[in-house]
Amino acid sequence: MLTLIKNSKVLFSVFMLLAVFLLGSAQASPVDTYEFSDKVTQKRYQELTKELRCPKCQNQNLADSNSPIAADLRRQVYNLLNEGKSDMEIMSYMVDRYGDFVLYRPKVNNTTYILWFGPAILLLLGVGVIIFILRRKPHAKEKQALSADQQDKLKQILKD
């Protein structure tokens, strides 16, 4: 009975330490609470924050990112919308400040050709290499019958 009580105390202690560790390491993500003058502006804000990429997270949009830079950019988008800027002006502002990387769908220009056409070129190059290798591969030779001398030598080898 005493052993059971000691074991349950140890298990309880381990459980509590685990709970404190897990709960202590959890971080609360900030929630932006912006008030908009109308539903159209709110919709534009949501679309813009989904179209702009977080410069720090690299694979998250501004709406989904919890990084401090994403919060700053969301605030900047909100301020620009309140100033009456168009979506194109806001996108242009962000590109001027952070480069084409901030857009999920960057425009085709000299710096983004590789981004847009690189995968297609690599795919075509891969298909070309496969075709080249298959054409160079020697065709299977037709089976030839053994001559009489070769058949005699084979019989001798098999006897030995």
| Segment 26-50, tens digit of pLDDT | 444 456 778 888 899 999 999 999 9
pLDDT digits (tens, 9 = 90+) for 51-79: 999 888 878 888 888 889 999 999 999 99
User: What's the pTM value of the predicted model, to 2 decimals?
Assistant: 0.56
Candidates 26, 2, 22, 25; CA nearest to 14 is 22
Concatenated DSSP letters for 90-152? Answer: HHHHHHHHH-GGGBSSPPPSTTTHHHHHHHHHHHHHHHHHHHHHHHHSPPPPPP-PPPHHHHH
